[in-house]
Amino acid sequence: MSHRCCAPVVAGIALACLVTMAAAQNPTVIATSTVQATVAAPSQTRFLLPVPASVQWGEGRLRLDSTFTVAVRGHSDARLSGAVWRMLQRLEKRLGVSLTRSPEGAAPFALSTDFASATLVVEAQGPGQTVQTETEDESYTLDVTSARAVLRAPTVVGVIRGLETFLQLVEGDRSGFSVPAVTIQDRPRFPWRGILIDVSRHFEPVAVIERNLDAMAAVKLNVLHWHLSDDQGFRVESRRFPKLQEQASDGLFYTQAEIRAVVAYARDRGIRVVPEFDVPGHSTSWLVAYPEYASAPGPFALEREFGVFDPTFDPTNERVYRFLDRFVGEIAALFPDPYWHVGGDENSGVEWSANPRIQAFKRARGFATNEALQTYFNQRLLPILAKHGKRMVGWDEILEPGLPTSSVIQSWRGRATLDSAAHRGYTAILSSGWYLDHQRTAEYHYAVDPLPATSTLTPEEAARILGGEACMWAEHVGPETIDSRIWPRAAAIAERLWSPREVTDVADLYRRLAVVSARLEETGVQHASHTDRMLRRLAGSADIAPLAEFLRYAQPAYFGERSQLQRTTQLNPLTHLVDAARPDPFTRWRIGALVDSLLADPRHAAGRGELTAIFDAWGRLLPQLQAAADSSPLAGEAFPAADVLAALGAAGVDALTFLGDGAVPPDGWLARITPTLDRADRPLGLLRLPFGSALRRLIVAAGQPH
């Protein structure tokens, strides 16, 4: 199995409508009784994402204008007022009017004490946990009438979640802005809803992390899994072991002050930060700095390529454990979260097998395999972590006989390890099927469920499934592109982790995602705007129209394809057309929907005009792109896909004509086009055309007698 390429095939996608919610999946989170969902139809989810547990629409609307004020009653603290002020800042920009300022100027906005006239009353019962954990109560209720909105929550974290819901409810029409009357009772289905960000393969500055934390909070995600070390770089300042950042980071690391600031920033948004320092494999960077702890003689150099490499900690060396004890002792203080991720994945075992001393140790201890030796290593790590107040999280390779059940298993090699872990008494989180770097669709990720209706786990086992994490591995992303690989697809995963299991309507997801994606940029992420900015550099000009139009229809090749075709290293500039492209462009869903509605009634005009316009545009693109490439060699990267696009466009126009006229295509027409359809299913340069299957449906239907 090649590194990080083992995307499981996700089985069929349920198209059920909303929603009757069953009891909370994890009884540790919310102890209250079952909430009955009352959402009646998909369109009634408006632009709520994730869909709340229970929504009842009322009569009337609460108008929003410059008189909007917020009153806080009950518990109040800096985290709560910060969250309210951030909400007001975003609201002010949306409404385009200034809201009431604080007279003293000490705070950005005035919070009212006049509960009777405030537009929004916020009421928290308490602050929530001093250190947020997976047992934090994130529930809230939001009642909106035409007179006011009232947001109530047991904790400040619940208020933070509810404020995002309030912002998602804001709608405009010609008469102004308003929020529809509604009663929402909400709480998450799973308590662990995260995103892994790999900053080793490509470093991400603090500002990038922070803007992604804001976007995470907007869709109610609550864990940043920060992958801080790997073969390609060590990214944290250690004062005890400064060679780590001095020799193994290319100068790209977070100071301790920056780490503390990010952790505080995340906490303000109700997000935990779980650090990962990968051991014993994926550890070249550690061993560049401290080769004496390796299983083979050094020296080592930072890895520039991607894959699985051999440098590995020596599990037989007592000084390794003393080193790790001192390292964890120092760094644990930066991360208040009770969990510490040890990695544990993809230990090649090559250095262990090649080292006679390590093999003798193995034999003497009766360890039959390198996996058993790794379990020994983990067992030595566990008391070190416990001493520093941490519980172990590791990738599913650590799930070997002898591992104490206090460890949390992160399933990435296939969902079977998730169920197996829960069955064997471990708590577990899912990432298999949620690798954002694989460039799959939101629809694909949305179909993955940590606890599908078909699960055979007992209720007790099911309660051990804490949730999951989307993974943003960084072989192919840098600061300019990472947002576009995370958003908006991670919002689909956020919904899977927050909303009732029955929320599975893909069409409704894409309808909401289009709006939510645009609104996410309000939080600072640049997933949509990055394309034009990158294209301007690539084209050497502000005239990017053909390239931008082309990228509405193309997406990056899958992770494994790009890895093989481009053989990138850490040093390759990520400034190609593939980097400006975005996974799962909205046109994929739109074209699929248009084709389906047309095929449901081929003589009817539904979808025909729009599809014809799209197909015609594909034909016009090729000469325009050729002109663009005259002054930009990189623009020529569009040609393989643009060629196929032009041919598909012509075939699509023919297909529409045959279907519309009820005409039989000439002999051999389908056979002539089939090679083009086949090409459209493969990578074209570093790009893919994401709607090959829709075009095939259309063209095959037109080629049949009808």
> Which CB, 275 or 607, lies closer to ligand ACM?
275
Tell me which residue of 393, 385, 314, 392 sits closest to 347, measured CA to CA.
Answer: 314
- Give the number of other Cβ atoms within 10 Å of residue 180's Cβ: 17
230 touches ligand ACM (CB under 6 A): no
Amino acid in position 241: F
Tell me which residue of 646, 622, 612 sits closest to 546, measured CA to CA.
Answer: 622
> Which CB, 168 or 375, lies closer to ligand ACM?
375
Minimum distance between the CB of residue 285 and ligand ACM, rounded to whole angstroms? 15
469 touches ligand ACM (CB under 6 A): no
Minimum distance between the CB of residue 413 and ligand ACM, rounded to whole angstroms? 8
412 touches ligand ACM (CB under 6 A): yes
Phi, psi of 433, rounded to the nearest 5 degrees: 90, -5
532 half-sphere exposure, CB direction, 13 A CA radius:
7
Give the separation between CA 624 and CA 630, rounded to whole angstroms.
10
Find the binder of ligand ACM among 4, 187, 201, 438 (CB under 6 A): 4
Reduced to 3 states (helix: H, G, I; strand: E, B; else coil), residue 350 is helix
The radius of gyration computed from the CA coordinates of the chain, to the nearest angstrom, equals 27
> Which CB, 90 or 225, lies closer to ligand ACM?
225
Phi, psi of 93, rounded to the nearest 5 degrees: -65, -40
> Which CB, 198 or 337, lies closer to ligand ACM?
198
- Give the number of other Cβ atoms within 10 Å of residue 663's Cβ: 12
Residue 163 CB partners (closer than 8 Å, separation 6+): 83, 84, 87, 122, 151
Minimum distance between the CB of residue 308 and ligand ACM, rounded to whole angstroms? 8
DSSP run (H or E) holding 445: helix 442-446
Minimum distance between the CB of residue 412 and ligand ACM, rounded to whole angstroms? 4
DSSP run (H or E) holding 244: helix 243-247
Give the separation between CA 374 and CA 7, rounded to whole angstroms.
25
Minimum distance between the CB of residue 469 and ligand ACM, rounded to whole angstroms? 11
Minimum distance between the CB of residue 438 and ligand ACM, rounded to whole angstroms? 11
> Which CB, 276 or 637, lies closer to ligand ACM?
276
Give the separation between CA 511 and CA 45, rounded to whole angstroms.
10
Amino acid in position 125: Q
Minimum distance between the CB of residue 2 and ligand ACM, rounded to whole angstroms? 11
> Which CB, 226 or 618, lies closer to ligand ACM?
226
Strands 176-186 and 339-343: unpaired
Rounded to 10°, the helix 586-600/639-661 angle is: 20
Q: Is 346 a catalytic residue?
A: yes
* 334-353 positions binding ligand ACM, by CB under 6 A: 345-346
226 touches ligand ACM (CB under 6 A): no
Minimum distance between the CB of residue 27 and ligand ACM, rounded to whole angstroms? 29
**Residue nearest ligand ACM, CB atom distance:** 345
> Which CB, 305 or 596, lies closer to ligand ACM?
305
Q: Report residue 309 as tokens.
A: 């490499």
Residues 58/145, Cβ–Cβ less than 8 Å: yes
Q: Report residue 14 as tokens.
A: 């349920």
Tell me which residue of 312, 223, 227 sits closest to 269, measured CA to CA.
Answer: 223
Give the separation between CA 457 and CA 162, rounded to whole angstroms.
32
Minimum distance between the CB of residue 211 and ligand ACM, rounded to whole angstroms? 24
DSSP secondary structure of 177-224: EEEEEEEEEE--S-SEEEEEEE-SSS---HHHHHHHHHHHHHTT--EE
Give the separation between CA 587 and CA 548, rounded to whole angstroms.
13
Strands 70-74 and 111-112: parallel
> Which CB, 155 or 410, lies closer to ligand ACM?
410
277 touches ligand ACM (CB under 6 A): no
Give the separation between CA 654 and CA 695, rounded to whole angstroms.
12
> Which CB, 201 or 688, lies closer to ligand ACM?
201
> Which CB, 397 or 449, lies closer to ligand ACM?
397
Residues 377-396 as x/- pattern, contact with ligand ACM by CB under 6 A: ------------------x-
498 touches ligand ACM (CB under 6 A): no
Give the separation between CA 613 and CA 650, rounded to whole angstroms.
11
Query: Count of H helices and E strands in the chain?
Result: 25, 19
Minimum distance between the CB of residue 669 and ligand ACM, rounded to whole angstroms? 45
Number of residues that bind ligand ACM (CB under 6 A): 5
> Which CB, 166 or 435, lies closer to ligand ACM?
435
Cα–Cα distances (Å) from 315 to 44, 306, 349, 620, in that order, read 57, 24, 11, 62
Catalytic residue among 164, 276, 346, 521: 346
The residue ranges that bind ligand ACM (CB under 6 A) are 4, 345-346, 395, 412
Q: Which residues are catalytic?
A: 346
